[in-house]
Amino acid sequence: MPAMIEDVGAVLEARAIARHERVLGLLTGGRDLTTRMGADPFPDVLVHLAAEAPP
């Protein structure tokens, strides 16, 4: 089953979440994630956040 990454805490724990035996993939809840980060949940903001993410 996929796991949803919807807040900053989940982003920080993404590796641990991905290692769970029942998790087959990770999905981001883009609107929830950006809103909880204090950003506007619009596509251009999501692209900007992705571009600024460290490798």
Q: Is the pLDDT of residue 8 over 80?
A: yes
Report, as an integer, the average pLDDT of 50-54: 64
User: Distance (Å, rounded) from C-alpha 51 to C-alpha 36?
Assistant: 18
- pTM for the model stands at 0.62
Of residues 49 and 24, more confidence is placed in: 24
